[in-house]
A = this chain, B = another copy of it.
Amino acid sequence: MSTNDIGFKAALEEAKQGALEKGVPIGACLVSKEGKILGRGHNMRMQKDSPTLHAEMSALENAGRLPASAYAGSTMYTTLSPCDMCTGACILYKVSRVVLGENNTFVGAEELLRSKGIEVINLKDAECEALMKTFIENQPGDWNEDIGEE
């Protein structure tokens, strides 16, 4: 796993698109065991007034209805450590691996993922972190709302 993976590249493109839209700059991409992109997307809180379409949820939603077998061996790439909701979605559909861009700006439920046998890899990517730092600095209220904090 590296920042050259097609899944990570797509997730980062999605995060940048989110930033351009003045939204929460987090992107995600679900890649099948065979290396095919099943779905990709970015956080849609501002764009769709959505409290559920975090980046990973958007990627799952854009992948559409799939049988359980389609998620087997899949990897969820996301530019940020996944929150409790997105973690739960990865557990529900039995994604095999979560590759995250960074967890310096937010630490999600990585331990819960691991406890369910899901591999978690942190790419410690500076670009992902810079996107989040800028966003949190400029739109602290939007960020707190997105993670259910005051």
Q: Could you tell me which A residues sit within 8 Å of B by CB distance?
A: 45, 49-53, 57, 60-61, 63-69, 71, 83-89, 91-94, 109, 112, 144-145, 147-150
A84 and B82 CA atoms in complex are apart in Å by: 14
For A52, list chain B residues within 8 Å (CB): 52-53, 57, 60-61, 89
Chain copies in complex: 2
For A92, list chain B residues within 8 Å (CB): 83-85, 147-148
Q: Smallest CB-CB separation from A150: which chain B residue? A: B68
The verdict on A148 contacting B68 (CB below 8 Å), with A89-B88, A92-B85, A93-B51 known, is: yes
The verdict on A83 contacting B94 (CB below 8 Å), with A51-B63, A51-B66 known, is: no
> What distance in Å separates the Cβ of A53 from its nearest Cβ neighbour in chain B?
8
User: Can you list 23 contacts pairing A with B, beta carbon distance less than 8 Å?
Assistant: A49-B65, A50-B65, A51-B65, A51-B66, A51-B93, A52-B52, A52-B53, A52-B60, A53-B61, A65-B145, A68-B144, A68-B149, A68-B150, A85-B85, A85-B88, A85-B89, A85-B91, A85-B92, A87-B88, A88-B88, A88-B89, A88-B91, A92-B147
